[in-house]
Amino acid sequence: MRIAAAWVLEYPIVVVMPSILLACRRIELAPTAYLRSLWLSVPSTLLMSVTVVTAPQVYPSDLPADVARSLDIAIGPLAYEAATFGFHRKRVQAFLDLTHRAKK
């Protein structure tokens, strides 16, 4: 168990961060610009996580397990999409406009 915990804690520091820094260097992208681009998804991810963890708390006790799992699976993406659209409506609309223009 300790080895697994150490792996979970150390892997992002020892492998992921150096890989990100190397990739940023190779494509001439400032690491801060990369982190800023990721920041857009952070609020949506946090809200989705909270929703998925807390939703089962309000399910009826007699809800069949397969229905509960189906709800869990559906709730995650819905929460993420709602949060993304709610927090970043202008950016989402700009992206949709861009894709519509590209199709023409």
- DSSP sequence for 48-66: HHHHHHHGGGGS-TT--HH
Domain boundaries defined on the chain: 1-39, 40-104
Cβ atoms of 88 and 40 closer than 8 Å: yes
| pLDDT at residue 18, rounded to an integer | 94
| pLDDT at residue 12, rounded to an integer | 87
- Kindly list the averaged pLDDT for each block of 10 residues, start to end, along the chain of length 104: 84 91 94 87 93 93 94 94 91 91 85
| pLDDT at residue 47, rounded to an integer | 94
| pLDDT at residue 40, rounded to an integer | 80
| pLDDT at residue 35, rounded to an integer | 86
Q: What is the pTM assigned to this prediction?
A: 0.67
Cβ atoms of 12 and 48 closer than 8 Å: no
